[in-house]
Amino acid sequence: MSATTYDLSRRSGVRERDTAFGPGPMDRVYFLGTWALMVVGIVFVFSASYPVAGEPGADGVPGNPYWFLWQHVRYVGYGLVAMLGISFVPPRVMRRFSGAIFGLSFIGVLLTLFSPWGVAHNGSYRWLDLPLLPEFQPSELAKVALIALFANILARKDDAGERTGVSYGAVLVIIVVMSAVLLKQPDLGMSMMFVAIALSMLFFGGMRLPQLGLLGTGFLGAGLLAAAAEPYRLRRLMAFIDPEHASSDDRYHIVNMLIAQARGGVTGLGLGMSPD
């Protein structure tokens, strides 16, 4: 078989998979990496939650040290079912509906702010409580949908010969609008996560490093301004820089991080041995 024939057969296989429903070829590195992260995550959740979950409640009833573990395993199961289902969807179909899926998730984020179904926890309207559905955070769905949408936009630049500036501009407009809505909830952490996703995908999409550095600097400046705009964010930022002169509430996370490092070092105290 000649190299040309082999190449054409491979291309034909790609086109066939691009339109046919059914499980596609498995990327072993990606698949094994996903499983490794899943297993490590389960171990970490169990180790971190075991001491707290086992403590007796206010009524004196003993706790269940495995409660958080089983909750996490349950959600891992949901994720595996979703992964299996999505593996049957052809890439062409995913590309065609990536915009609609992101649009629905974006509407969900808006509903947290402008509907009676929005639920606040600790002062942030990030959750939806819709009838017949468990409470969920739409921005988590939007995070996955955003990756598919950006991949479609950046791939279209090469497949259809679309101008590079148009594709990059579309990505930037979407991320700016999405970040602004997330800051309204407020959720600065998720907004920063979306910006990181956008910058990484622009990098793999071929954006030049000087342009990427300029964008990153701009987003960093915007993030610092957003942090300074809210007193509690500014206090947390200053607590990270100078924890000794911060209040106990503002420096809680940084102090506990230092305590954990002092107690366990790099390797930790061992599985299930966390004192807090």
Chain segment 239-274, per-residue pLDDT in tens: 877 777 777 777 777 887 787 777 777 777 777 666
Looking at residue 40, its pLDDT comes to 92
CA 237 – CA 254 distance, rounded (Å): 10
Whether 7 has a pLDDT exceeding 70, the answer reads: no
Distances in whole angstroms, Cα of residue 133 to Cα of each of 78, 129, 192, 213: 14, 7, 28, 42
Enter the pTM of the model: 0.73
Residue 216 has pLDDT above 60, yes or no: yes
pLDDT digits (tens, 9 = 90+) for 82-128: 888 888 888 888 888 888 999 999 998 898 888 888 888 877 888 88
- The predicted model gives 69-92 an average pLDDT of 87
- What per-residue confidence (pLDDT) applies to 265? 74
Question: Residue 23: which pLDDT band, with cuts at 50, 70 and 90?
Answer: low
The answer, yes or no, to whether residue 21 has pLDDT greater than 90, is no
* Cβ pair 167, 205 in contact under 8 A: yes
pLDDT at position 19 is 54
User: What is the average pLDDT across 49-57?
Assistant: 78
Residue 190, CA distances (Å) to 61, 137, 141, 233 in order:
37, 11, 12, 14
Average pLDDT for the chain: 80
Angle at 26 between CA 22 and CA 32, to 5 degrees: 135
Encoding tokens for residue 113? 């702010």
pLDDT at 41: 92
Q: Is the pLDDT of residue 8 over 50?
A: no
Sign of CA dihedral 267, 272, 274, 276: positive
Using pLDDT thresholds of 50, 70 and 90, give the confidence band for residue 2. Answer: very low
The phi and psi torsions of 126 (rounded to 5 degrees) equal -115, -5
Token pair for 239: 């607590």
